[in-house]
Amino acid sequence: MPTLTVERLTAAAFAPFGEVIAPESAKQVLGINAGTATRYHDLAHLDVESEGGRPLISWFRARPQALPLTLTQVERHPLGSQAFFPLTPHPYLVVVTHDPATVPRAFLAQPLQGVNYRRGLWHHALIALHAESNFLVIDRGGAGHNCDEVALAQAWQVTDLPA
Amino acid sequence: MPTLTVERLTAAAFAPFGEVIAPESAKQVLGINAGTATRYHDLAHLDVESEGGRPLISWFRARPQALPLTLTQVERHPLGSQAFFPLTPHPYLVVVTHDPATVPRAFLAQPLQGVNYRRGLWHHALIALHAESNFLVIDRGGAGHNCDEVALAQAWQVTDLPA
């Protein structure tokens, strides 16, 4: 079984798939509240309104998974983007691909780095690594078929994380 | 100057003003990702679409403020709800009122407790207390007049937090 190299998560590396949710992704930086706060404005493209969709806030609690990991399946949400923000101070694994027949990309996200998957992007279920982990999730609610699952053309193994 | 009593933040106490963002507010609880995660689904009413609005994710970084605090002003967003989730493990202060001429309500929110202000709710700017604090913010983007500010009918002081 081939091994997937895990990359560090940066906005540039992730740009073909969506956005990294972090202050660095702000479209504007604004002083607010009489100078007591700074607003890093508009960090990700929330694309949730097709076919009568509406934005949702939810919470994911994910059990940790140990390496080596075998990845066999991805999913996509054809009607909406999906954003995750970690609430637990542990890195987590993000796996995405434009095409389940090709080599996926795996990224190690750090605490205080969220990700927003573009609408329709194939992705593996979020992988918590070191402890039970909580995530705030912003995605699409509403009627309509919004989840496809498919097997990867071959299984991939994750054995190591970037140093 | 009169003193405002700070209450503990609970979903029930905050219900007239919006939602507490926490797993307990979920409309459904779902096992997902082949049993590796739990989804606490739909924690708050994101009301951001009026007059062509769209949902935004932003980041606030707030400087801490020391007690005693004097509160003189509130604001509201007539076109959209506004949700805050703390990313820093410190309590923070939420002050809301249906009417700037009456006694505001002050709540001490704990780490891992977010709040969603209903569209149009009068509220004080978020108050970080113990350290510089980061918040993920989900509110409305788009054209239109979406911020009113007004002086409270009288100034209020916050001197103590609940034990």
ipTM rounded to 2 decimals: 0.96
**pLDDT for the residue numbered A129:** 97
Average pLDDT over residues B30-49: 95
Is the pLDDT higher at A141 or at B34?
A141
**pLDDT for the residue numbered B35:** 87
Model pTM above 0.90: yes
What residues contact residue B9 under an 8 Å CB cut-off, 6+ apart?
B20, B94, B107, B108, B109, B110, B113, B115
**pLDDT for the residue numbered B20:** 98
The candidate with the shortest Cα–Cα distance to B125, out of B149, B89, B101, B142, is B149
Helix (H) or strand (E) holding A122, with range, is: strand A122-123
A–B interface: beta-carbon pairs under 8 A? 126
Q: Kindly list the residues from chain A whose CB atom is less than 8 angstroms away from the CB atom of residue B63.
A: 36-37
Q: Which string of b and e fits B119-143 if b means at least 16 CB within 10 Å?
A: bebbbbbbbbbeeebbbbbbbbbbe
Is the pLDDT higher at B34 or at B61?
B61
Q: Kindly list the residues from chain B whose CB atom is less than 8 angstroms away from the CB atom of residue A49.
A: 49, 54
A46 falls in which pLDDT band (50, 70, 90)? very high
CA distances from A127 to A84, A124, B17 (A): 12, 8, 35
DSSP-assigned states of every residue in chain B: --BPPEEEP-HHHHTTTEEEESGGG-SEEEEEGGGTEEEEE--S-----GGG-EEEEEEEEE-B-PSSEEEEEEEE-TT--EEEEE-SSS-EEEEEES-TTS--EEEEEPTT-EEEEPTT-EEPPPEE-SS-EEEEEEEEESSS---EEEEEEEEEEE-----
Please say if the pLDDT value at position A35 is more than 90.
no
**pLDDT for the residue numbered B90:** 96
CB contact under 8 A, A39 and B21: no
Tens of pLDDT along A82-134? Answer: 999 999 999 999 999 999 999 999 999 999 999 999 999 999 999 999 999 99
Which residue in B has a C-alpha nearest to residue A142's C-alpha?
B42
Shortest distance between the Cα of A68 and any Cα of chain B, in A, equals 16
| A103 at interface of B, judged by CB pairs closer than 8 A | no
Shortest distance between the Cα of A19 and any Cα of chain B, in A, equals 11
Average pLDDT over residues A69-92: 97
Mean pLDDT for all residues in chain B: 97
Q: Are B131 and B61 in contact (CB under 8 A)?
A: no
Please say if the pLDDT value at position A7 is more than 90.
yes
Shortest distance between the Cα of B40 and any Cα of chain A, in A, equals 5
